[in-house]
Structure 1
Amino acid sequence: MLPERSLPHAAPGPRRGLLATLVLALLCLPLSASTPVIPGPPPRLVLWAWERPEDLRFLEGRAVDVAFLLATLDLTDEDVHELPRRQPLRVPPGVALKATVRLQMVPGSSLARFNPERLEDLAQRLDVLARRHDVTALQLDFDARGSETDAYVDLLQRLRTRLPPGMSLSITGLASWCVPGGWIARAAVDEVVPQLFRMGPDAPVWRARFSRGLPPPCSGSMGLAVDEWGPVPPGVSTLYLFNPRPWTPEAFARAVAETQS
């Protein structure tokens, strides 16, 4: 709730003048100071399934999606080394699957040094990866450095034009990307998932900054870790959950309880 604004001191005069001044001051108060915030429905959950054996068949009949690590691409200035998923993933029929691809630069390399031809080749490779599986979305997990953001925006635009119609393009993001006027607004994506965990000593600062909502295009989705729970800002309709251990029915039940508390 916003702090109440101080009422102006009324000049001595008739009681009617004082009442009018008070009414005028109350009308000038922000609506948020007196209007209660009605909480919306709990966000839809998406479980991240990373590179380890995951048996998620206990999700049968639940409105939960799964974003699974499909592959990791190690990038150098000259080459791309693909590491496909090697661990089994079991999900019940009907669960919507999102394919997550981790992009990571080999030390000493930079996406900023990728020329247009290399960016086009990388976009084509990602498109081929996504089409190999029955997925509803492709999600990129890349910690772009400041010097790489222009190249990343270029890559995303090239990939967006290649993906089949109806396939959503999502990216994970750092908290520092989600500031008004930031470069992320130029990214041709359907979803930005700021990861509000493992943020180090600045975590309280960012959580306080986002406590009243995330700015677009980061406002609809966010990611949390089950071992580092934090408040979900208003306006978040999709909540991604990371578990450092394999998912179990008990861990999932605890996560659901947290979202509803």
Structure 2
Amino acid sequence: MAQVHPSSVVEPGATLGEGVRIGPFCTVGADVVLGDGCELISHVAVAGRTTIGPRAKIFPFASVGHQPQDLKYHGEPSVLTIGADCTIREGVTMNPGTEGGGLATTVGDRCTFLAGSHVAHDCKVGNQVIFSNNVMLAGHCSVGDFAILGGGAAVHQFCRIGAHAFIGGLSGVENDVIPYGIAIGNRAHLAGLNIVGLKRRGFSREVIHDIRRAYRLLFADEGTLQERVEDVAGEFATHPVVHEILDFIREGGNRSICTPRDAHEG
């Protein structure tokens, strides 16, 4: 059912779905599951308790499922789960979870990871996320659906990147980025809303106008952020998109919320 090049090694116990194609000089571990139609082009190493969904395409020299880069890891039975229709380009590295993070790293469907990007242990990556070249996602991070991370961006451990957010290239992100936000710089600051992304994904002019107004209110100078969140919640009581941003802020995490740069800063 699967096509395996004679130079590749597939350990006994590996599960290969219908139509899997494994090119030359690949290695597939005993606990790996490759879904129907997966393709490993060449020189791909898939190890550990890794499950890859249907129709994933993995390019040369990707390392998927090997031991986490965490000195606290001591061989616990953690997993890496990757969804359907993902593209994993050259030199990408993805690690399974650790005991300190729930023993699981997960990646959603239809994600694209360009050359040299990295998904560390215990991360949660949503659906249709794009990592440009050399993006570095540290451990315990979460990335929402449709987020885009520009080339060379680095995300601090335990950070949250909201759905539909955009991270500029070479940004150093050390705080949580709200859904629909744009973060740029080192260290990154909030630089507005991802209007281009919203338009491309079919958000109406009225919804975009409401998000803009909510954004201005949330990051005004008056009051505390908590007070402004409650004010915006009252004004947009029945607006699901605005409440997605508010819920993200209320949920909180290990990092602070990324905010706009002070007007008095250079």
TM class by shorter-chain length? under 0.3
Higher share in helix: 1
Q: TM-score, normalised by structure 1?
A: 0.23
Q: TM-score, normalised by structure 2?
A: 0.23
Work out which of the two has the higher radius of gyration on C-alpha atoms and give 1 or 2: 1
**Higher RCO (C-alpha under 8 Å, 6+ residues apart):** 1
